[in-house]
Chains A and B, each alone.
Chain A
């Protein structure tokens, strides 16, 4: 059984069982694969190097669109221009955090530096955003409905299983963020 993250003398620590680590690793891998930019034929290598992507388009997958949202609410052209300049590096930032968290999953006991904790909180957040899209969480009532699924013996279909996984990731992220807030408080 996982132990909540806590802040103490060693920094921020947590503990996960092997099955929980496998689960998180596969969730993280899924999100990484969604964020991996495609290598397009004929793309200008210099533009790619500095993060420009003139062929970028608004993602069609809802979950990817939530990870990489439009920057202007009612201005598609401005949002697209912004994507050309920033989306590639945003994808790389997110993949970097997800990979860092995945590397920490090699041991039962997780000991995090402030930087590592930040990567973990970002990675868990992106995992939850993707799960929430798959679970069709659109408002607080949907979230509350999903949150009621707490008993693994209730897992009888894909949706209830996903809901339990989402709740596990939520619990883990909440305990991590509370530990991070305590750590910030103590450094002030």
Chain B
């Protein structure tokens, strides 16, 4: 991913009082397929975060955390589910221009499961 280049205004990081859509159902341990997003040097960090927020309904902090994971580790599992579900997500990601693949989950629960991390992760700096 590439960093922000616009001299735009600093982003407003207000306290959010709304509740983020629960994604627990997407990350149940017995679900066998993962949606993986791969890093590339073109997609903007802000855009990747926007896609995660708008398409999956993830909170800003969760979206930024996953985006930073893609950026730093080269890939991130951003959703899990049945093969049909993750394939549908993959087409949507390709529509947005993100580099997405699907893969069978291996190694069981835990690890890089795309679950929401602690609060505040990835906050405060975008792009």
Q: Say yes or no: is B120 at the interface (Cβ < 8 Å to chain A).
A: no
Contact-size category for B: 35 or more
Number of A-B contacts (CB under 8 A): 109
Q: How far is the CA of A137 from the CA of B40 in the complex (A)?
A: 9
B4 and A174: CB pair below 8 A?
yes
A69 and B100: CB pair below 8 A?
yes
Minimal Cβ-Cβ distance residue in A for B36: A73
One of A19-27, A42-50, A86-94, A104-112 at the interface: A86-94
Q: Say yes or no: is B56 at the interface (Cβ < 8 Å to chain A).
A: no
Out of A68, A126, A147, A181, name the residue touching B2 (CB < 8 Å). A147
Out of B46, B87, B103, name the residue touching A178 (CB < 8 Å). B46
Out of B50, B95, B99, B100, name the residue touching A181 (CB < 8 Å). B50
Interface residue total, chain A, C-beta cutoff 8 A: 45
CB distance from A6 to the nearest CB of B (A): 8
Q: Say yes or no: is A67 at the interface (Cβ < 8 Å to chain B).
A: yes
Q: Say yes or no: is B26 at the interface (Cβ < 8 Å to chain A).
A: no
A170 and B5: CB pair below 8 A?
yes
B41 and A142: CB pair below 8 A?
yes
B12 and A185: CB pair below 8 A?
yes
Q: Say yes or no: is A180 at the interface (Cβ < 8 Å to chain B).
A: yes
Contacts of A68 in B (CB 8 A): 94
Given the known A-B contacts A68-B94, A93-B95, are A177 and B102 also in contact in the complex, defined by CB atoms under 8 Å? no
* Interface mask (B85-105 → A, CB under 8 Å = 1, otherwise 0): 001001100111101111100
B101 and A72: CB pair below 8 A?
yes
A174 and B95: CB pair below 8 A?
no
B14 and A185: CB pair below 8 A?
yes
A71 and B8: CB pair below 8 A?
no
B127 and A90: CB pair below 8 A?
no
Given the known A-B contacts A68-B94, A71-B102, A181-B50, are A143 and B6 also in contact in the complex, defined by CB atoms under 8 Å? no
Additional A-B contacts beyond A73-B103, A182-B11 (7; CB < 8 A)? A67-B94, A122-B96, A138-B41, A139-B41, A174-B4, A174-B5, A178-B9
Could you list some 7 contacts between A and B, CB below 8 A? A69-B101, A139-B41, A140-B41, A174-B4, A175-B8, A188-B16, A188-B18
